[in-house]
Amino acid sequence: MAASRDLSVLFDPASVAVLGASDDESKYGNWISVQALRMAGSRPVHLINRRAQPVLGWPTYRTLAEAPGPVELVVIAVPAAGFEPAVDDALRAGARAIVGITAGFAELGPDGRAVQERVAQRVRAAGALLLGPNCLGVADSTTGLTLASNPLPPGGVSLLSQSGNMALELSQVLAGHGLGFARFASLGNQADLAAADLILSCTTHPGTELIAVYCEDFGDGRAFVAAAAEATRVGKPVLLLTVGGSAGSVRGARSHTGALTSDSAVIDAACRAAGVYRVASPRELANLAGALCGGSPGGGLALAGGPLGGGPPSGGPFGGGPPSGGPFRVGRTLGGGPGAVRVRRVAVLADGGGHGALACDLLEAAGLAVPEFPPALATELRGQLPPSAAVSNPVDLAGARDISTFARVLAAMLGSAEVDGALVTGYFGGYGEYGPALASAEVAVAGAMADQARSHGKPVAVHTMYPDSPAARVLAERGVPVFGAVEDAARTLALLGSGGTVTVVAPPPVAPPVTADGYWDARQLLAEAGVEFPAAALITTADQADSAAADRAARAAAEIGYPVVLKALGLPHKSDAGGVALGLTGQEELRAAFADMSDRLSAPGYCVEAMADLTGGVELIAGVRTDPRFGPVAMVGLGGVFTEVLADVAFALAPVSAATAKQLLTGLRSAALLRGVRGRPPVDLDAAAALIAVVTQVAAAHPEIAELEVNPLLATPHRALGLDARIVLA
């Protein structure tokens, strides 16, 4: 488990003060004071105003020193010029936690960052905590703490946001799904407390059932991963909304690995390692949270064990909000650990051909499969439906007049081992408009559909043109997420399979540093770790005439056995510079290639290497690049000359296990080449995966290596070996 800081004083202080309290409704000091006074009956609240004028009808004090009794948590909402002295006043008054509402620090440039860092160091030296600065406050519905700029309904979601306005939007869209909040923390500039600290504190918070995060700067990315992984392990899903995709952080990379790695790809890799659900918008976050939690209109995931919920009942100090359901850990009945809802193959149930076809397109665009049903299931469905109904997937009810058909067909689909989940789309929810009898029947069928989803333990999402109908409300209340847009239903099902499983591998011990970055050095480093390379010999040219070096190369080639490869050393891209001669079949060809390279390249040395048999093999790339936030990141993909052209690559935090490496390989677009296609034999995936795992272990053990790469890595039907290697030192 990751190391945790005790944040109890931040979320459950014995007393609080607002420094910068104001009667001006346009100021944060006023907004925070309004919220602070809501808890005046449960803990001492002191308002500090340098003029000592009443605020909101309450008396104020000029300084914290004048306030009666100790103050554990101080919220500071003063102009930037007064922030540092205000922090000093708070620390002198014995504050153990400070919330900095004030803006105007690191976000403005180096001078502001210097002040921010100086203040943070002072706070840490005093043994206190600092949230922010440049934030909207903090709240905890389980302790009655209301020190955020806006009121929030209670519930089971802990919302952590680096952006203030994004926090407000997320709180609104989540509340719109009937979801309330256990905790809220506005991260701001993260001068002291970072997202990782807040996530880790939520893992042991009884009221937190789900953690929603908006973060732009992860700081220590590995700390974030460790905290999120711990939350995943204890069954508290982490949903992340972030920005990225810029290539700015990798413009200086000099290898294929660096050139093909983007910020967004690294964040995706971090999310996969920690089991985090990465979403693309506030709406996606709310839809997924609604599917994982109890809530309306999104409902909660109808799996055995009840909807994820918990938290305080409605009517608490946050005000309003629906009561939450019982505690639930996603994946409790599905296997794979908390949060592991593995949705890959989806059955589509529609009451119209157009809706069914569109749902299939959207599901496949979201990365899911809509496979043809096995014959046994198709036969079972054929017996329940009119002759004109489609039963191969999607299923089109084709005007089936018995509304109970929805529940029976759904039960049959979910009962198949070939189905991981289902999407129902179309008119269901609107049949009740045709009369009271049909309305009653539709509500009953909705309950039966929810029962089927729960009993089979598989996710079901419902898209309906009538999301506010009685039947839709029954589905939502019984834990089946309901959507007014089919694309939201499809995307949410896809997101359910994107997180919940931790794959973080502990880093190896730090090894003695590497000081040389040539091909031979990279080859030797990897070979000592267990990576197989073709037999080879090093030919140095220092202090030798070209003829003597050529003689040594010829003798080495004779010992290795022809055909051989001649490689010039000391070149960033040997092939591009004409520093590689392949398939040399005898001494005459070898000497000619050596003479040509000597004339053109003035290389400090050469490598004579056995020519690998490429028959039946596939060239791959295995690389590791050190990301400034998340540390070593592994890249696996199609290699050789196609690496940058096709960009068929996958990423994971390094080191990776052989099992994870194999998953990366089989997830490539070109994976069919590895499994064998058009008469080509399948390659030894286990051998390739084991070699990739070793490369990532070596890179992770050497923090001085910025990039490490084996390209090509030749995977054959019987083994895997490296054909070239490259080191870039930090």
Same domain flag for 209 and 304? yes
Q: How many CB atoms lie within 10 A of CB 246?
A: 11
The single-letter code of the amino acid at 290 is G
**Do residues 577 and 690 both lie within one domain?**
no
Contact predicate 277/290, CB 8 Å: no
Q: Is the peptide bond before 307 cis (omega within 30 degrees of 0)?
A: no
Q: Picking from 220-229, 310-319, 652-661, which range would have the lowest pLDDT averaged per residue?
A: 310-319
Tokens for 554? 């010829």
Q: Residue 678: its pLDDT value, please?
A: 80
SS3 string, 261-330, reads: CCHHHHHHHHHHHHCCEEECCHHHHHHHHHHHECCCCCCCCCCCCCCECCCCCCCCCCCCCCCCCCCCCC
User: Does 207 share its domain with 271?
Assistant: yes
215 with 255, same domain: the answer is yes
Single residue among 85, 104, 134 that ends a domain in this structure: 134
523 inside domain = no
What are the two backbone dihedrals, phi and then psi, of residue 667, each rounded to the nearest 5 degrees?
-90, -5
Do residues 550 and 448 both lie within one domain? no
pLDDT at 497 over 80: yes
Distances 669 to 125, 153, 517, 664, 715 between C-alpha atoms, Å? 52, 45, 32, 10, 16
- The dihedrals phi and psi of 622, each to the nearest 5 degrees, come to -130, 115
Q: Is the pLDDT of residue 299 over 50?
A: no
The predicted pLDDT at position 399 comes to 66
Give the C-alpha distances (Å, rounded to integers) separating 131 from 438, 547, 656: 55, 70, 34
Domain boundary among 585, 610, 635: 610
Closest by Cα among 103, 121, 122 to 112: 103
Does 517 reside within a domain?
no
Q: How many CB atoms are closer than 10 A to CB 202?
A: 28
> Do 539 and 644 reside in the same domain of the chain?
no
The structural domain count of the chain equals 5
In this structure, are 127 and 214 located in the same domain?
no
SS3 418: coil
In a shared domain, residues 374 and 445: yes
User: Measured in whole angstroms, how far is the alpha carbon of residue 640 from the centre of its chain?
Assistant: 29
User: What are residue 311's phi and psi, to 5 degrees?
Assistant: 85, 180
> 714: part of which helix (H) or strand (E)?
strand 705-715
Q: What is the pLDDT of residue 695?
A: 98
pLDDT of residue 253: 41
| Residue 530 maps to a domain | no
Q: Are residues 314 and 441 in the same domain?
A: no
Query: Is 276 within the bounds of a domain?
Result: yes
Percentage, residues of the chain above pLDDT 70: 89
* Across 515-519, average pLDDT: 92
Residue 501 lies in a domain: no
- Note the pLDDT of residue 725: 94
Question: In this predicted structure, which of 61-70, 309-318, 431-440, 471-480 has the lowest mean pLDDT?
Answer: 309-318
Question: What pLDDT sits at residue 576?
Answer: 81
Which tokens belong to 623?
């690389």
User: How distant, in Å, are the alpha carbons of 322, 437, 652 from that of 443?
Assistant: 22, 10, 46
What's the CATH number where 447 sits? 3.40.50.261
CB of 129 closer than 8 Å to CB of 193:
yes
Quick one: 301 and 406 in the same domain? no
What percent of the chain has a predicted confidence (pLDDT) above 90?
73
What amino acid occupies position 484?
G
In a domain? residue 341: no
CA 159, distance to chain mean position in Å, is 16
Using CA atoms, how far residue 681 sits from 552, 607, 613, 667, in Å, is: 38, 31, 14, 19
Best CA proximity match to 726, nearest among 686, 698, 684: 698
From residue 306, how far is each of 243, 292, 301, 314, 696 by CA, in Å? 33, 10, 8, 19, 41
Quickly state the pLDDT bin for 542 (edges 50, 70, 90).
low
How far apart CA 15 and CA 55 sit, in angstroms, is: 18
Say which residue, 232 or 69, is predicted with more confidence.
232
**CATH number of the CATH domain containing 55:** 3.40.50.720
> Which of the pair, 615 or 483, is modelled with greater confidence?
483
Average per-residue pLDDT for the chain:
88
Q: Of 129, 473, 423, which Cα lies nearest the Cα of 296?
A: 473
If one compares 219 and 611, the residue with the highest pLDDT of the two is: 611
The pLDDT score that the predictor gives to residue 244 is 65
Q: Does residue 526 fall inside a structural domain? A: no
Q: Which domain holds residue 20?
A: 1-134
Output the CA torsion 173→22→48→17 (10° steps). Answer: -10
- Between strands 460-464 and 536-540, the pairing is unpaired
Q: In sequence order, what DSSP letters do the residues of 363-374 get, joined into one string?
A: HHHTT-B-PPPP
Q: For 270, what's the count of Cα atoms within 13 Å in the CB-facing half-sphere?
A: 27
In order of 259, 391, 415, 453, 507, the CA distances from 376 in angstroms are 49, 11, 12, 21, 48
Mapped onto helix, strand or coil, the DSSP state of residue 15 is coil
User: What pLDDT digit, counting tens, does each position of 23-51 carry?
Assistant: 999 999 999 999 999 999 999 999 999 98
**Residues 105 and 186 placed together within one structural domain of the fold:** no
The residue among 331, 360, 375 that closes a domain is 331
Rounded average pLDDT over 169-183: 92
Whether omega before 85 lies within 30 degrees of 0, making that bond cis, reads no
Across the chain, which distance is largest between two alpha carbons, in Å? 100
pLDDT bin (cut points 50, 70, 90) of residue 245 is: low
Closest by CA position to 726, among listed 577, 522, 585, 524: 522
Over residues 335-381, the pLDDT tens digits come to: 233 344 578 899 999 998 899 999 999 999 999 999 999 999 999 99
* Same domain (yes/no): 578, 462: no
CATH at residue 544: 3.30.1490.20
Split at pLDDT 50, 70, 90, the class of 384 is confident
pLDDT, position 177:
86
Report the pLDDT averaged over residues 567-592: 90
| Domain-embedded: residue 682 | yes
